[in-house]
Amino acid sequence: MRPAAAAPERAAAIVILAGVSGALHVAKLPPAIAALQAALGISLLQAGFLLSLVQAAGMAAGVAFGALADGLGLKRSMLIGLGLLSAASALGAMAQSVALLMALRVLEGFGFLLVVLPAPGLVRRLMPPQRLSRVLGFWGSYMPFGAALALLTGPLWIAAFGWRAWWWLLAGVSLAVALWLARAVPDLRAPSVAAAASPWGQRLRRTLSARGPWLVALTFAVYAGQWLAVIGFLPAIYLQAGISGALTGVLTALAAAVNMLGNIGSGRLQHAGVRPTRLLSTGFIVMGLAAVAAYAEVGGHGLPASLRYGAVLLFSMVGGLIPATLFSLAVRLAPDESTMSTTVGWMQQWSAIGQFAGPPLVAWVASRAGGWQWTWAATGICSLIGLWLASRIATLLRGHCGTMSGR
């Protein structure tokens, strides 16, 4: 039986909600660090590992998990991933050692990949082509929305009920979303069963031998690296400036949340006919200029604090054009229907690499300069690389259009 007319939008919304559920697990740790230090005596170094280990799976094997998701089936992969997130969070709520928490963070990283990698391909199959770019814009906001939600609600929940209850809450959220997805989202198969059944090694080779997946993946890396470097160090910068911890959390959450506006705007602009490479170029140019406004100093003085924060908001908001555009390009530039999750996995892998490399690069520049005033130089290099990659994507898209018109 075919779903009712409203079913595709409702089903796509549930898929996006599953992504938000995964993002909550990635971002649940920062609000809990102080409580974990008090309860388990973890060191700052151990806290750093707990923060980064959830990215280990994506950095080491994102493309392999994408190929696995293509082979498992998109809906089944998401259900397995949500189950892993729920189980790992429930076990973490009962953990008595830091070592076990670290191991479970790695497991959460695997679950996160199995949720988010097949999602764009599933959305593509759910939605008619004329509405796809708009919905993928909403999908691109799953991570900043989840991060902002965790940063805002986590401290309140932990203060009232403790960090273990925070872990239990998110375990329940993922389980509830899994049950909802299982009931409400149709189990759509790839148009070519033979292609979907091809060995994962073949899907991997087809993906890595094509130019498109490489270009979108590297572009995501230079975006993610600079975005996390700027947003991730905001609490430290604000505390150095004498801003209270509570206000620091609100300001950082807002800076992460406005990224959603760019993601949603990207979908609407693509739907209106704006070229995706123009959106990429706009995002990178504004990120580069906003970082200069936020951090550059002349004679030891920069812009007033309010204008600097405004520049950070602009950096995050207009930068949000980039991830949603890249998700849209990933499903267009995948070699075929059976490699969409593999292509998104390759993009996710390079995103994790960028997130791993970006903050240390900015921290190294800050330590050498004795402050944050040269942060714009490091992020500016990323923006310049992003602009060059956008020009290569534009060339590739023109070639695709020429091939299609010649058929």
* H helical segments located in 334-374: 340-369
Whether residue 221 contacts residue 383, with contact meaning beta carbons closer than 8 Å, is answered with no
Those residues whose C-beta lies under 8 Å from the C-beta of residue 15, and which sit 6 or more positions away, are 78, 119, 122, 123, 126, 139, 181, 185
Those residues whose C-beta lies under 8 Å from the C-beta of residue 394, and which sit 6 or more positions away, are 275, 277
Residue-level pLDDT at 400 = 65
Whether residue 357 contacts residue 227, with contact meaning beta carbons closer than 8 Å, is answered with no
Instruction: State the chain's maximal CA–CA distance in angstroms.
Output: 70
Question: What is the distance, to the nearest Å, from the Cα of residue 180 to the centroid of all Cα atoms in its chain?
Answer: 23
Residue-level pLDDT at 354 = 87
Q: Which domains does the chain have, with CATH numbers?
A: 7-405 (1.20.1250.20)
Rounded alpha-carbon distances, angstroms, from residue 332 to 192, 213, 339, 372, 401: 17, 10, 11, 39, 12
The tens-digit pLDDT sequence of the chain (407 residues) is: 344 434 888 999 999 999 999 999 988 887 887 788 888 888 766 776 777 677 777 777 777 777 777 778 889 999 999 999 999 999 999 999 989 998 999 899 889 989 988 888 888 888 888 788 788 878 878 888 898 888 888 888 998 999 999 999 999 999 999 999 999 998 766 544 444 456 777 888 888 899 999 999 999 999 998 998 888 777 767 767 777 666 877 888 888 889 989 988 998 898 889 999 999 999 999 999 999 999 988 877 788 888 999 999 999 999 999 998 998 898 889 888 778 878 888 998 898 888 878 877 887 888 888 888 898 999 999 999 999 999 999 999 987 655 444 43
Q: What is the DSSP letter of 28?
A: S
Measured distance CA(258)–CA(267) in Å, rounded = 15
Whether residue 65 contacts residue 345, with contact meaning beta carbons closer than 8 Å, is answered with yes
234-253: b or e for each residue (b if 16 or more CB lie within 10 Å)? bbebbeeeeeeeeebbebbb
**How many residues appear in the chain?**
407
Nearest to 227 by CA among 54, 346, 351: 351
Q: Which residue has the tokens 């490479």?
A: 277
Q: What is the DSSP letter of 301?
A: B
